[in-house]
Amino acid sequence: MQNIDIKFASLNLGLISPEMVLLVGGILILILGGLFKQRAIIVYTALVTLLGGLILSIGAWNNPESGFYGMVQVDNFSIFFKIIFILASSLTLLMARQYLIRWDIERFEFYSLLLFSTVGMMTMASSVDLIVIFLGLEIMSVPLYVMAGFARRDPLSNEAGIKYFIMGAFATGFLLYGIALIYGASGTTNLRQIVADFGFLQTHSALPLYIGAGLVLVGFGFKVAAVPFHMWVPDVYQGAPTPITAFFSVAPKAAGFASLFRIFAFGFSGIPEMTSLLWLLAILTMSVGNILALYQDNIKRMLAYSSIAHAGYILIALTVKGEGAVSAALYYLLAYTFFNLGAFTIVTMVDSRARSQALIHEMRGLSIRHPYLAALLALFLLALAGFPPTAGFLGKFYIFSEAVKGGYIWLAIIGVINSLVSVYYYLRIVVAAYFDQRETEFQPVTYTPALRLVLFITAAGTLILGLWPQYFLHLTRINMFPFI
């Protein structure tokens, strides 16, 4: 352990090389944006930057290191999440450009904001210190506030940006006060040290420690849209530009869960009351998200409540804890990235048309005019609902199985019931695309090579993870604290 402590104290910039590459890329785009009118150069620069970050991240697989006085921990857990973040950012970038051009809101700052936000997410996943996790959260959040209001001439987008900012600031207050109480109780913000001293802390500083942990859970509850901290999600998702909504629904949620698993699956796993609280949050989040989604006619708003429900499924894994539950959650987050972004890609294509409001009835006639696009839409929605042989089915199956193994049988039963409820509102869109009559001819959507590539990647990921899950499940068998 003494030899490892020396590494903990090292200021090794190589540990954060993927983050530095994305940070430099974002700054370079800000410079190039003022020099070149051709936005394709900016897009290629962003893609190359993301590819470089991905290569550096994968290169550190199975080579855990810690540095910066134990505040940064690069292990398979953090690398897995970095892959999800970079994948989501790359797919969002590819799907966004046609939409931004169509609505005359393409500006080079968008691509920098996307990279800077991804840097914050990667920082959150790589840290085992509450202060650094908070810094990563703010680096992630500030660009997201701007992106939500990116369509400056759209009142709904302005409303989305303001609401997201206000609720984000509100959540930050809870989080910081919780961290302050934890520091007062333990004398440290390092999760590794808190785990090592947890028995002593429970005996001597239980009350501030428990209250602090509860406030931290509230703060992250806002970020992952857990009920009752979800009230900002529908309006923000509906008002933000559609590709940005797609990004919100996947990447920040995954970053929030990366921190939640670090903090509560291991750091504060010894608090018995926390399990009951997480159990209640999981049930409320699943149920409220699915029930409210039943009444939505706007697809983006419906997918917003759907996103809340899916957060509830992942909260089941957080409640169960253990290596198997963490593995199931990681698999589900990766799968969710593919089929949710795939669904949003098609919504983005439809929403790029003139006078579109992203309503469900706008999908009428899609199967006649674009049969392949309708088939892909059905695939993604069936995956969201949890139909075999998609990755959505296996993701839910593994999470519910871990709940049963851990003795949370009723939690698994409620999860299955909620999954069945969700089938109705997902199939509403499929029925509209295939069976509902349209009074006027379906206005065609525009394909670009980038959109075709996104659809191919998301469809392939949805099917491959569903048909051959063993390899990916093996990758998710991860030790979150390899140095303890």
pLDDT of residue 275: 85
Give the range among 46-60, 92-106, 299-313 with minimum mean pLDDT.
92-106
pLDDT (mean) for 300-308 = 93
Give the Å distances, CA to CA, from 206 to 190, 215, 479: 17, 14, 27
> Could you give the CA distance from residue 242 to residue 252 in angstroms, rounded to a whole number?
15
Q: Using pLDDT thresholds of 50, 70 and 90, give the confidence band for residue 337.
A: very high
CA torsion sign for 468, 470, 476, 482 is negative
pLDDT at residue 87 tops 50: yes
- Examine the pLDDT at 484 and tell me if it is beyond 70: no
Output the average pLDDT for the chain.
Answer: 89
Average pLDDT over every residue of 285-294: 94
pLDDT digits (tens, 9 = 90+) for 255-267: 999 999 988 877 7
pLDDT band at 145 (very low <50, low <70, confident <90, very high): very high
What are the residue ranges spanned by the domains of the chain? Answer: 275-478
What average pLDDT does this structure show over 267-287? 86
Checking if the pLDDT of 7 tops 70, the result is: no
127 burial via Cβ count (<10 Å: 0-12, 13-18, 19+): buried
Q: What tens digit of pLDDT does each residue of 187-223 get? A: 888 888 888 787 787 788 888 888 998 999 999 999 9
Cβ distance 91 to 247 under 8 Å?
Answer: no
- Higher confidence at residue 355 or residue 465? 465
Higher pLDDT, 9 or 25: 25
The packing angle between helices 130-148 and 206-224, to 10°, is 30
pLDDT for 286: 95
- Distance in angstroms (rounded) separating the CA atoms of residues 457 and 93: 14
- Which residues neighbour 232 within 8 Å (Cβ) at sequence distance 6 or greater? 163, 164, 167, 222, 225
The pLDDT assigned to 23 comes to 95
pLDDT band at 3 (very low <50, low <70, confident <90, very high): very low
Q: How far apart are CA 61 and CA 64, in angstroms?
A: 7
Residue 123, pLDDT above cutoff 50: yes
352: which 2 tokens? 């790029």
**Phi/psi at 153 (5° precision):** -90, 0
Mean of pLDDT values over 453-477: 91
338 token code pair:
């593919």
pLDDT surpasses 50 at 4? no
Bridge partners, 359 (sequence order):
298
Percent of the chain surpassing pLDDT 70: 95
pLDDT computed for residue 2 by the predictor: 40
Q: How confident is the model at residue 481 (pLDDT cuts 50, 70, 90)?
A: low
Residue 401 has pLDDT above 90, yes or no: yes
Judged by phi (left if over 0) then psi (alpha if -120 to 50, else beta), residue 249 lies in alpha
Residues 26, 112: contact at Cβ < 8 Å? yes
Q: Is 90 exceeded by the pLDDT of residue 442?
A: no
- Looking at residues 282-302, what average pLDDT do you find? 93
pLDDT at site 482: 58
- Structure tokens of 398? 């593994």
Task: Say whether pLDDT at 184 is over 60.
Answer: yes
pLDDT recorded at residue 355: 65
Q: What is the mean pLDDT of residues 405-412?
A: 92
Percent of the chain with pLDDT over 90: 62
Contact of 111 with 244, CB cutoff 8 Å? no
- Taking phi over 0 as left and psi of -120 to 50 as alpha, with beta for the rest, 104 belongs to left
For residue 56, pLDDT over 60 is answered with: yes
pLDDT tops 70 at residue 474 = yes
Residue pair 164/148 in contact by the 8 Å Cβ criterion: yes
pLDDT at 222: 92
Q: Give the mean pLDDT of 420-426.
A: 94
Lowest mean pLDDT among 189-193, 241-245, 381-385, 447-451: 189-193
Q: Residue 1 — very low, low, confident or very high, per pLDDT cuts 50/70/90?
A: very low
**pLDDT score, position 258:** 93
Question: Is it the case that residue 186 has pLDDT exceeding 60?
Answer: yes
Query: What is d(CA 245, CA 163) in angstroms, rounded to the nearest whole number?
Result: 14
SS (H, E, C) the chain: CHHHHHHHHCCCHHHHHHHHHHHHHHHHHHHHHHHCCCHHHHHHHHHHHHHHHHHHHHHCCCCCEEECCCCEEECHHHHHHHHHHHHHHHHHHHHHHHHHHHCCCCCCHHHHHHHHHHHHHHHHHHECEHHHHHHHHHHHHHHHHHHHCCCCCCHHHHHHHHHHHHHHHHHHHHHHHHHHHHHHHHCCCEHHHHHHCHHHHHHHCHHHHHHHHHHHHHHHHHHHCCCCCCCCHHHHHHHCCHHHHHHHHHHHHHHHHHHHHHHHHHHCCCCHHHHHHHHHHHHHHHHHHHHHHCCCCEHHHHHHHHHHHHHHHHHHHHHHCHHHHHHHHHHHHHHHHHHHHHHHHHHHHHHCCCCCCCEHHHHCCHHHHCHHHHHHHHHHHHHHHCCCCCHHHHHHHHHHHHHHHCCCHHHHHHHHHHHHHHHHHHHHHHHHHHCCCCCCCCCCCCCCHHHHHHHHHHHHHHHHHHHCCHHHHHHCCCCCCCCC
At residue 480, the pLDDT reads 60
Between residues 340 and 354, the one the model is more confident about: 340
CB atoms within 10 A of CB 166: 12
Burial tier of 59 (Cβ tally within 10 Å: 0-12, 13-18, 19+)? exposed
Note the pLDDT of residue 411: 93
Q: Is the pLDDT of residue 47 over 90?
A: yes
